[in-house]
Amino acid sequence: MKIKVLMTALVMSYTALGAFAQKRELDNANENFTKFQGLRANMTLGKPSLMLAKTSIDKAAENSKTSGLPQTFALKAAIYASLSTTDADASAAAADYAIAAEALKKARELDTKNENTSLIQNAGREMAQVQLDKGVKAFQAKNYDEAYKAFDEGRQILPEDTTMILYSAISASNAKNYTAAIANYNKLVTTDYKNKVQAYNDLVTLYMQNKDTTAAIKAIGAAVEKYPANNDLRKREIEVSLLAGQQGELIGKIETAVKADPNNKTLYYYEGLTYSQIAETNAGQIKKLEKAAAKGSKTAAPDPQLAKLKQERTDDLSKAADQYKKAVAIDPNYFEAVLNLGYVTMAPAIDLYNGAQQIPVTQTKVYDAQMAKAKAQFDLAKPYLLKAVELNSSSLDALTNLKSYYLGTRDEANANAVQKKIEALPKN
């Protein structure tokens, strides 16, 4: 009886010893991998530890008692991921990467208690770096499809990594894979990415390139809602709305906001800016029609569309001025509003001035009358033009507007003086 007990004890001890031996391989792998990480700045010293870690993890992965442990897969992923970044042989590195990818996938599935998070994250970072390097190389070679594939694989490894998401978006855009680019930019604006304003702008551009104005308007609307004080986004919203023929909806949206917040100077400014942009759009169409008319018969009847557009431009400039004045009434030192108020007030004067230059020299009275109207309109703008320069004497726009005033009123001395100030501005 004692012999049986003794034999049983021996069997149990042997079994425990075997399990311990295999667990020891995991410990060795972990110990040597940790040592490698501390020495990896010097590969001559660090690589032997990594190879020892590989030997131990391979043994642990082959043993039935440790092969299915989350720790085994996590260590294997981390070790082989590091091997893939340190192996000089491309085919060997690719094989190491494939093993790491398979192990990482399994480790994520099994590590339900998050006991191996550090190892899993380490493997993910290493593998993502491999894809990042591959993607950058392909992008620099202008192989945008391959760059996207690499960045996208890195993004799948690190789904919340903003660099991977951004690079995936940019490379997809360059490859004209707009669906993928849009998907990545939509993801990017939901992350903690620092330059979301630019991301929204890029997203809107992609929607417009894809001829999806509805989605573009929705995206820029969401951007403005998140960053209501950003002038660039507001301007973009106006541009997109005009291209989509939805300026009326945009003005209605702003006016609704004004009713809820009547003392918000920026809302008046943005409504003024909308009317300004509409006026500038009409100005482009007017130039095209005038150019076409100049090529036609001199006895042809005036184009009614041209007259209509000119009147609409005048009306929109007046509406813009009214809104800018409301903004300035709330804050007399609101530079952007003062600057634009000066411009929209001067714009009709410039139109009158340019129109006068087309009057035949024989019609002196007509010419003088139009120039007098132009001078009167220029003078209405002068206080705002001067105020804008007073508020920001280094503004190229403010100085250029003031120079235009002096040129329009034929005050060459002051125009030259302002030009010197412009030339003295720091070069970008």
Cβ neighbours of residue 346 closer than 8 Å, sequence gap 6 or more: 377, 378, 381, 385, 401, 404, 405, 408
Note the pLDDT tens digit of each residue in 121-164: 999 999 999 999 999 999 999 999 999 999 999 999 999 999 99
Question: pLDDT above 70 covers what percent of the chain?
Answer: 92
Give me the mean pLDDT over the 234-243 stretch.
85
Note the pLDDT of residue 296: 63
Note the pLDDT tens digit of each residue in 323-349: 999 999 999 999 999 999 999 999 999
Give me the mean pLDDT over the 39-51 stretch.
87
Provide Rg for the chain, Cα atoms.
35
Note the pLDDT tens digit of each residue in 66-113: 999 999 999 999 999 999 988 888 899 999 999 999 999 999 999 999
Quick one: which of 312, 244, 304, 247 has its CA closest to 279?
Answer: 312
Question: pLDDT above 90 covers what percent of the chain?
Answer: 67
Exposure of 23 by Cβ count < 10 A (0-12 exposed, 13-18 middle, 19+ buried)? middle
Kindly tell me if the per-residue pLDDT of 363 is higher than 50.
Answer: yes
Among 49-63, 254-268, 293-307, 399-413, the range scoring the smallest mean pLDDT is 293-307
Confidence of residue 189 (pLDDT cuts 50, 70, 90): very high
Note the pLDDT of residue 1: 44
Kindly tell me if the per-residue pLDDT of 302 is higher than 70.
Answer: no
Please list, residue by residue across 174-209, b when 16 or more beta carbons sit within 10 angstroms of its beta carbon and e when fewer do: bbebbebbbebbbbbbeeeeeebbebbbbbbbbbbe
Kindly tell me if the per-residue pLDDT of 352 is higher than 70.
Answer: yes
- State which of 76-85, 205-214, 393-402 shows the largest mean pLDDT: 393-402
Distance CA 37, CA 43 (A): 10
Note the pLDDT of residue 135: 96
Distance CA 57, CA 50 (A): 10
DSSP conformation class of 263:
T
3-state helix, strand, coil in the chain (%, to 5): 80, 0, 20
End-to-end CA distance of the chain: 97
Quick one: which of 301, 303, 308 has its CA closest to 289?
Answer: 303
Distance CA 262, CA 368 (A): 44
Give me the mean pLDDT over the 390-412 stretch.
96
Count of beta carbons in the 10 Å neighbourhood of residue 259: 8
Cβ neighbours of residue 397 closer than 8 Å, sequence gap 6 or more: 339
Kindly tell me if the per-residue pLDDT of 390 is higher than 90.
Answer: yes
Output the DSSP codes for 47-58. HHHHHHHHHHHH
Note the pLDDT of residue 46: 84
Note the pLDDT of residue 298: 56
Kindly tell me if the per-residue pLDDT of 44 is higher than 60.
Answer: yes
Q: Which residue has the tokens 């709330």?
A: 330
